[in-house]
Structure 1
């Protein structure tokens, strides 16, 4: 069985915990192992926080003041995509984010540590996309457990 959901959120700090709670609820209901759910929720929070902070150009359009989160649970894999409508990533970030000791800039590296596969890409003139995959483990009572 496969499920997916998509959210269109305003670039506001309050949207980050909302997206995280929706993901955790879906994972709990489906029967995903809590440790995997936690890793994915932290990675999602980092990607959403990045979209909120950097993902728009003020004063352009309502779309520029929003971002989108899409999650796919397909078989034993979960893919999450966070798409914004801002200026995109600096070219060095797209090739490989670098860890930083600064207060900002560690989120993309954290996503790489928590997920199995991560991709950062720009959509020229239309923003950036962070997508990440993680193999799922299931609780014994899982509703969507893959045999």
Structure 2
């Protein structure tokens, strides 16, 4: 059994815990080991915080009711998207924003998000934290709609006791 969900969120700090709580709730219901859930929720928090801080302008969407009309290439201002997939023994998460992307510098001339942070820097470690918490990580720029960053990461799931996603008894016990 598999499941997925996708959220289009406003680029506001309050959106970050919402995405994290939804992920944690889905993983608890599915019977995922709490340590794995914590790692993925921390990685998601970092990716969402980066989208809130660095995302700008317009966001591509093709979903009606989410700022779009169902046509590819439609834009919604000040939003980013979080998509999570739990499929078998893997969880894959993708966070897409509309900032300057990776490898490009913004109008301010500040370093891009993949530039190494100084040892005493207050910020700039989020993407490296994601890399340490996930099994596989990919940073890329949007291919369409004029830019933005996409952070995708996945991790092999471990299960809590006898509970496992796809086991109807486990899902019934959780509700």
Whether TM exceeds 0.5 here: the answer is yes
- Greater Rg, structure 1 or structure 2? 2
How far is 1:140 from its partner? 2.1
Distance between the aligned counterparts of 2:156 and 2:112, measured in 1?
24
Distance between the aligned counterparts of 1:20 and 1:64, measured in 2?
22
What is the TM-score normalised by the length of structure 1?
0.88
| CA deviation profile, 1:96-123 (whole Å, cap 9, x unmatched) | 6635421111000000000000000012
Give the match for residue 25 of structure 1. 25
- Residues 117 and 134 of structure 1 are in contact (CA less than 8 Å); yes or no, is this contact kept in structure 2? yes
Give the match for residue 123 of structure 1. 142
Distance between the aligned counterparts of 2:20 and 2:39, measured in 1?
11
**Residue 84 (structure 1) aligned to one of 66, 74, 97:** 97
Structure 1 residue runs without a partner (length 5+): none
Q: Select the structure that is richer in helix.
A: 1
SS in 2 for 1:49: helix
Residues 46-65 of structure 1 mapped to structure 2, 5 A cutoff? 46-57=46-57, 63-65=76-78
Distance between the aligned counterparts of 1:2 and 1:20, measured in 2?
19
Instruction: Sort the Cα spacing of 1:131 and 1:48 in 2 relative to 1 into closer, same or farther, 3 A.
Output: same
Q: How many residues align?
A: 143
Give the match for residue 72 of structure 1. 85
How far is 1:141 from its partner? 3.6
4+ long deviations beyond 4 Å:
91-94
What is the TM-score normalised by the length of structure 2?
0.74
Give the match for residue 98 of structure 1. 116
- Residues 31 and 145 of structure 1 are in contact (CA less than 8 Å); yes or no, is this contact kept in structure 2? no
SS in 1 for 2:160: coil
What is the root-mean-square deviation of aligned Cα atoms in Å?
Answer: 2.3
- Residues 84 and 127 of structure 1 are in contact (CA less than 8 Å); yes or no, is this contact kept in structure 2? yes
**Residue 132 (structure 1) aligned to one of 136, 143, 153:** 153
